[in-house]
Amino acid sequence: MNSNRIELEKFRKFQGPLIDVRSPGEYYKGNLPNSINIPLFDNEERSIIGTLYKNFGREKAVIKGLEFVENKIENIVNNIIEALNLYKSNNNSKLDETTIKIYCARGGMRSFSISWLLEKYNLKNITLKGGYKTYRKWTLDSFNEDWEIVVIGGKTGTGKTKLLKLLDENNYQIIDLERLACHRGSTFGGLGMKKQPSNEQFENLIAEELNNFRKNKKIFVEAESANIGKCKIPHEFFRQMRSAERIEIFKSESNRLEELIKTYSIYEEQDLIDAVIRIKKRLGPQRTKIAIESIKKKDWKKVCMSVLEYYDKCYEYEKIGKNKLKKINMTDIFDNQISLKLIKDSMKF
């Protein structure tokens, strides 16, 4: 069986487990989504090999690498076989229909070595030509393409995320940037969310979403600032968001307060207090004091009213997509089909 180095477009089409053999540090920084990290070297070993290569050349680096791998071979193969069996089980795949897909940083020694090893076990596999570096280029290139973006805007508590979900359920193309960033974009945005991905991985996740879309159809996104927590929206994609068509959602203050209470009253007292303290300079001492006291008393309406004025002022500076503005008043509208019709009627599809 010969090892095959496959171009990215063809590589993606093969069915089988996707194995990243880079170090855990490289993997965390950014990876092909849905890949499994089965590293050839750990972070420290990779650093040692890199130093040897830089100071003494390739031969000494390869020899040290072989020393590191010598006692790992069985575990590496077993982990890959486990990933293969899990993939087949989850996808009802037969062995001859399944290909192990391997990549490293540049499609070099690490992926080639694992591929050679798997061939000795008669395991069908391919490697990604150019490795992760090729994938990153593909990711960044995708943001330079022209996309038909529609931004959904509205003040805090107008239910923009719910509208995105509704559009998704009705087969419209949407990108939930806050879900991908694991953050809602405000001081309270990390509550109840998983750890944020690295910024590089956030970009990879957006690119994967775009890859599933038809170019001639509109893509709905929520109006965001350039940063969502610690993640930054790719510059070229954000530039297109700024000049996109915009749907502005309006709701009454009572509707918005009700939405905020539902969202945030479920969290731990100290987590909410910490979130308020993070913006105490912008809230001012009086509003900060009222908000913290109200959290302790579980007076959720007063809590939300204390911070709503601050967020409404911030909202006045948001400029995303406002050059093509369509306004929709959804006060007291809670029926999904009516909401969907209002959005459809506001746009020319």
Mind telling me the catalytic residues? 104
Return the structure tokens found at 214. Answer: 């038809």
- What is the number of alpha carbons within 13 Å of residue 321 lying toward its C-beta? 26
Return the structure tokens found at 172. Answer: 């419209």
How many residues are there in the chain? 349
Contact at 8 Å (CB) between 17 and 95? Answer: no
Contact at 8 Å (CB) between 311 and 287? Answer: no
- For residue 51, CA distances in Å to 21, 42, 58, 71, 106 come to 19, 14, 10, 22, 18
Return the structure tokens found at 236. Answer: 């070229």
DSSP H or E segment with residue 154: strand 149-154
Which amino acid is present at 270? Q
